[in-house]
Structure 1
Amino acid sequence: MAQFVDSEARMMYSSKMILLAVVLALLGVAHGDGQHRDNTARAAARAAAKSNRAVTEDAAYWNQLGQQLLLDELGKQRINSQAKNIIFFLGDGMSISTVTAARIYKGQKAGKTGEEEQLTFDRFPYTALSRTYCTDAQVADSACTATAYLTGVKTDTDTIGIDANVEFNNCTTQLDPAFHVDSVMAWAQAANKATGIVTTTRVTHATPAGTYAHVANRDWEDDYAQSFDGVDSTICDDIAEQLVLSSPGKNFKVILGGGRAYFTPRTMTDIETGAAGRRRDGQDLIGQWVSDHPTGKYITSRDELVNLDVAGTDSVMGLFSPAHMEYFLESSAANNPTLEEMTRTAIQMLQKDANGYVLLVEGGRIDQAHHDGRAKLALEETIQFDLAVAAALNMTSRQDTLIIVTADHSHTMTINGYPERGNNLLGLSGDMGDDEKPYTTLSYANGPGYPTTFDENGTRIDLTNVDTTADEYLQPSAVPIYSETHGGDDVAIFAIGPQAHLFQGVYEQHYIAHVMAYAACVGDGLKYCDAKESSSSSRPIVVPYVLIAEFIMVWFAGQFLFRS
């Protein structure tokens, strides 16, 4: 491809390409063939787009980039040692298409075309795929998946911390300890490590609950929720109770997220909204936590978090909203910390422990924005999640901290059509459907966006003058449903640090917990420490190289003399 050495040559080339585009467009109109008009219009658009950017991505550019990527791969060094710390990042609902779209969205926010951008965890040296089905479902929910990647055991949907022997919604079977499965947090505490959870959802929601709860129904976040299923709350503890009153939850050094109302009785009003608490049993579980942690600190706002005396605080519970924390794009009126800020504080708190720590960080509202059919919010939540990953990466050492980034399940969002390079990801694809109407690059297979797709007669709505980039816009969906569903496709795993090289393939999701246990030397399964000890206890064979060399020399000399 021609190399341009000055701006005059570029301008001449651009003028020629624009003239060519105009001629092609005129020819298309003259022919009157529908397909031909489409092709010439596309050619014109491509020519115009090319004329607006320097021609730098030629063969030399791509060859140089390819060689650099190859050298990076060849220079990759395994860190085959124990992980003192583990930080597990869970992007709830962060499908592979979400990762791709967030990458482009991030780049376009920075004024780039976007496709060439990278998320922080894109740069991690090891990647794999996780198979997310559960024991009773092709398409998983966040409860059975949390059980899988945190305990190492797959189970049924809508249940947490128990195996498939427990019957959904059955309080009696939930009580049998033989059916309970412990999480990596319990294993870490048994090894005298510090533990903590950070989330943008309620701290009693499925993902964080997977670290500490054992329930036959993920919805039993408090006794009020249990009452709808006729559960005797005096027999089966709800999820909030298990966090505050039982191990391993009550031993967490860090609890940061939303969900205040699930811990307070209806006789108490919320500090932020003035609304009543949810609990019918009269328990003030926040007061109980404060009583049980005399050297701890309970906080409710961003101001309190950023001003926290980390050195003088042994444990912290921060509940920043009555329910889920607000979407980042809708949080300007709330005094909420960002996921990055919560992650920083959590690491500072846990780093004080000499034995290391295990931390779960969830970007929980990626999933909920997808359910709402609001792709822009989901992508912004993913960017906030990526900022938290970057913070953790900067605050820790590659040599002693294993960082894993993954998702629990997929969603039905797709990136489709034939949009030009740099086309606004949230805009129209640039193509027309057979009905001669444009369509968006992002869309859902199902969800609440159906009314933005079709009118009452089932005719597709013309989006030509619709602002599809607005925060409140619902991306089109093919099937009308009040809440978009999960997807069943594999999700990605990104890893860096000690034993990260154990993620290089396609794995069952529950494998992740076994790798964490092995790397950190916790739990009852295989451990790196055991393998290392076994290897070092075997006496190495000392080879007397000098004696062997002398023997060979004598043998050759003897052969020579004998033949002579």
Structure 2
Amino acid sequence: MKKNTPVVAGAAAVLCILSFTTAAAEPAVRGPEKVQDWYDAGQRFIRESKAVKPITGRAKNVILFVGDGMGVSTQTAARILEGQLRGQPGEENRLSFETFPYSALSKTYSWDQQTSDSAPTISAIMTGYKTREGMLGVDHLTPRNDCDAANVAAHSVETMLELAAEHGKATGVVTTARLTHATPAGAYAHVPARDWEADTHQPAGCGVKDIARQLIEVSPAVRKSLKVALGGGRSAFLPRQPDAATVDDPEYGPVKGGRTDGRNLTAEWLSSRGNGAQYVWNKAQFDAIDLAGTEHLLGLFEPSHMRYEADRAQDQAGEPSLTEMTDKAIRLLSRQRQGFFLEVEAGRIDHGHHGGNAKRALLDTIELSNAVRRAMELTRESDTLIIVTADHSHVFTIAGYPHRGNNILGVVKDVPEVDGNPTAPAKDQKGLPYTTLGYQNGPGHREGPRTDLSAVDTTELDFHQEAAIPMESETHGGEDVAIWARGPRAHLVRGSMEENWIFHVMRNAFGF
């Protein structure tokens, strides 16, 4: 997500989301407790590591999972929260992708940014080139906001999705953000300004196609290969109605939804894809899709971004989960004998952090882990390369000296000075408790003296962690993020990597 993007927080969760509330009594510590257990676990790790053999053949399929904004602190906190939601202390838990045999660190700077936004970072992953702030699918020589279509085309660089299409692979894009948002658009769009999601957002008379048009008006090879596109962002594809309500868009502020050119791009998707093309916009339609008779599937489940997982769970009939979309996408793409390339983005991790709302961000991270687990179940490690990474991090911290099993969303409680004594909240120099999770900047900044959190439920869904520097929207972080990989040529993911090298790993795995 871009730098100064406020977040729209959903309503507080109700009964069906109560399982996400972790304010209950902390679990007793469980796990390896005998002295020898810790040593034996290390020896078991060595034996298992020795048994890992690189899969050196070509990949039939490649699935790229992007946790937007999923830095290492996010992954760690989500791991603990998932374990605690299961009644465990949490620290020894592992997310699904943390079991992968290969991992590395990704350097996320862009051509002109020390700390990057999502456009150049996904462009690096998708094209193999580092580019400039706010740009998608073009090189760094592209003039900013260039409306000259011929010039933009001359500076465009091929994406992994386009390359896979040219080699006869089926392709797909799944996201919980708008399909026209930076990370999903990085798979197919070529624009010098990521904000050009619809014609409404472009300068008058601009010759470059907006991002929604680019999803529909793709090359013949991509039109044939792009079997599934699922996410939010419906308003960018539909004509504006005279009586259309004004929508408080999380990025553009109060806007009237819909296109100004009068085009209905969902209808054009159906007509240009022929028999077997389907368009859905709610969960009931999504669930009713017969994959046997479906060749191309477009799903646009919200006018803007899809809901956070915590909020989506309030109304199961409204829209599918990331896991459900991933499941359907893989089932549809797996029918293609030549194999497939699929990008799956958990886009709202990023939005939760921008809003200083750790709980929503972490629950969406756990849902990403669920989607990865489903992909592992539906594919074979022998022929499918799965890569899980983030495009960038956030200024999200895990601090203090909380005891093992301390509620990750709660206030810090140290290990007691005397064994067996109850734990008590740690205090700052002014005698006030503080949370384990926090932000360097963002909307959680409190003016004046710090709030006394003694009587505050910091695990509540709408709680905003404290931030040191006041900002409308919390910012990205510039540290490295992790890459996890399993499957053919996953061993090429190693050490400290430039982010754009991920593209080259995927390309090599396919044997292109």
TM, length-normalised to structure 1: 0.79
Please list the CA deviations of residues 315-374 of structure 1 after superposition, one character each: whole Å capped at 9, or x if unmatched: 100111111001111122361100000000000110010100000000000000000100
Q: Distance in 1 between matches of 2:92 and 2:106?
A: 25
More helix by share: 1
Q: Would the aligned equivalents of 1:242 and 1:249 in 2 still touch at CA under 8 Å?
A: no
What is the aligned partner in structure 2 of residue 37 from structure 1?
A: none
Given the alignment of the two structures, is residue 460 of structure 1 paired with residue 450 of structure 2, yes or no?
yes
Given the alignment of the two structures, is residue 152 of structure 1 paired with residue 128 of structure 2, yes or no?
yes
C-alpha displacement of 1:195: 0.3
Q: Distance in 2 between matches of 1:165 and 1:206?
A: 19
Letter of the 1:469 counterpart = T
- The structure showing larger relative contact order (alpha-carbon pairs under 8 Å, at least 6 residues apart) is 2
Instruction: Name which of 268, 271, 296 aligns with 1:288.
Output: 268
Q: Would the aligned equivalents of 1:132 and 1:489 in 2 still touch at CA under 8 Å?
A: yes
Q: Distance in 2 between matches of 1:442 and 1:380?
A: 14
C-alpha displacement of 1:176: 3.5
What is the aligned partner in structure 2 of residue 486 from structure 1?
A: 476
Q: Would the aligned equivalents of 2:152 and 2:190 in 1 still touch at CA under 8 Å?
A: no
Q: Distance in 2 between matches of 1:260 and 1:173?
A: 25
Q: Map of 1:189-228 to 2, 5 A cutoff?
A: 189-226=165-202
C-alpha displacement of 1:261: 0.4
Q: Distance in 2 between matches of 1:80 and 1:368?
A: 38
Q: Map of 1:42-53 to 2, 5 A cutoff?
A: none
Q: Distance in 1 between matches of 2:300 and 2:283?
A: 10
What is the aligned partner in structure 2 of residue 185 from structure 1?
A: 161
**Stretches of structure 1 lacking an aligned partner (at least 5 in a row):** 1-48, 523-564
What is the aligned partner in structure 2 of residue 525 from structure 1?
A: none
Letter of the 1:330 counterpart = D
Given the alignment of the two structures, is residue 520 of structure 1 paired with residue 496 of structure 2, yes or no?
no
What is the aligned partner in structure 2 of residue 307 from structure 1?
A: 288
What is the aligned partner in structure 1 of residue 432 from structure 2?
A: 437
Instruction: Name which of 54, 62, 66 aligns with 1:78.
Output: 54
Given the alignment of the two structures, is residue 141 of structure 1 paired with residue 117 of structure 2, yes or no?
yes
Instruction: Name which of 363, 371, 384 aligns with 1:388.
Output: 371
Q: Would the aligned equivalents of 1:305 and 1:345 in 2 still touch at CA under 8 Å?
A: no
What is the aligned partner in structure 2 of residue 31 from structure 1?
A: none
Aligned to 2:469, the other structure's residue is in SS state strand
C-alpha displacement of 1:304: 1.7
Aligned to 2:105, the other structure's residue is in SS state strand
Please list the CA deviations of residues 192-243 of structure 1 after superposition, one character each: whole Å capped at 9, or x if unmatched: 00000000000000001101111110000001111xxx3424x111000111
Root-mean-square deviation over aligned CA pairs: 1.9
Q: Distance in 1 between matches of 2:31 and 2:215?
A: 58
Given the alignment of the two structures, is residue 170 of structure 1 paired with residue 146 of structure 2, yes or no?
yes
C-alpha displacement of 1:249: 5.5
What is the aligned partner in structure 2 of residue 69 from structure 1?
A: 45
Instruction: Name which of 237, 241, 255 aligns with 2:229.
Output: 255
C-alpha displacement of 1:162: 0.3
Identity %: 46
Aligned residues: 462
Aligned to 2:145, the other structure's residue is in SS state coil
Given the alignment of the two structures, is residue 238 of structure 1 paired with residue 210 of structure 2, yes or no?
yes
What is the aligned partner in structure 2 of residue 330 from structure 1?
A: 311
Instruction: Name which of 250, 266, 289 aligns with 2:240.
Output: 266
Letter of the 1:418 counterpart = Y
What is the aligned partner in structure 1 of residue 423 from structure 2?
A: none
Letter of the 1:494 counterpart = W
Q: Distance in 2 between matches of 1:388 and 1:207?
A: 17
C-alpha displacement of 1:467: 0.8
Please list the CA deviations of residues 10-67 of structure 1 after superposition, one character each: whole Å capped at 9, or x if unmatched: xxxxxxxxxxxxxxxxxxxxxxxxxxxxxxxxxxxxxxx99x6579523201110000
Q: Map of 1:67-106 to 2, 5 A cutoff?
A: 67-106=43-82
Letter of the 1:413 counterpart = F
What is the aligned partner in structure 2 of residue 511 from structure 1?
A: 501
C-alpha displacement of 1:388: 0.3
Runs (4+) off by over 3 Å: 52-56, 173-176, 248-251, 268-271
Letter of the 1:408 counterpart = D
> 170-179 or 399-408, which moves further after superposition?
170-179
C-alpha displacement of 1:174: 7.1
Q: Would the aligned equivalents of 1:166 and 1:174 in 2 still touch at CA under 8 Å?
A: no
Please list the CA deviations of residues 419-466 of structure 1 after superposition, one character each: whole Å capped at 9, or x if unmatched: 011000000012211111110000000000013xxx4xx211111111
Q: Distance in 2 between matches of 1:486 and 1:216?
A: 21
- Cα separation, partners in 2 of 1:56 and 1:102, compared to 1, 3 Å: closer
What is the aligned partner in structure 1 of residue 360 from structure 2?
A: 377
- Cα separation, partners in 2 of 1:197 and 1:268, compared to 1, 3 Å: farther
Please list the CA deviations of residues 95-117 of structure 1 after superposition, one character each: whole Å capped at 9, or x if unmatched: 00000000000000000000011
Aligned to 2:293, the other structure's residue is in SS state coil
Q: Distance in 1 between matches of 2:170 and 2:31?
A: 53
C-alpha displacement of 1:468: 0.5
What is the aligned partner in structure 2 of residue 526 from structure 1?
A: none
Q: Would the aligned equivalents of 2:390 and 2:482 in 1 still touch at CA under 8 Å?
A: yes
> 460-469 or 276-285, which moves further after superposition?
276-285
Q: Distance in 2 between matches of 1:250 and 1:270?
A: 31
Q: Map of 1:4-43 to 2, 5 A cutoff?
A: none
Aligned to 1:428, the other structure's residue is in SS state coil
Q: Distance in 2 between matches of 1:402 and 1:447?
A: 37
- Cα separation, partners in 2 of 1:55 and 1:265, compared to 1, 3 Å: closer
Given the alignment of the two structures, is residue 449 of structure 1 paired with residue 411 of structure 2, yes or no?
no
Please list the CA deviations of residues 253-296 of structure 1 after superposition, one character each: whole Å capped at 9, or x if unmatched: 1000001100011128889x9x9642111111111111112221
Q: Would the aligned equivalents of 2:29 and 2:405 in 1 still touch at CA under 8 Å?
A: no
Letter of the 1:279 counterpart = R
- Cα separation, partners in 2 of 1:388 and 1:464, compared to 1, 3 Å: same
TM, length-normalised to structure 2: 0.87
Letter of the 1:344 counterpart = D
Give 1 or 2 for the bigger CA radius of gyration. 1
Q: Would the aligned equivalents of 1:102 and 1:380 in 2 still touch at CA under 8 Å?
A: yes
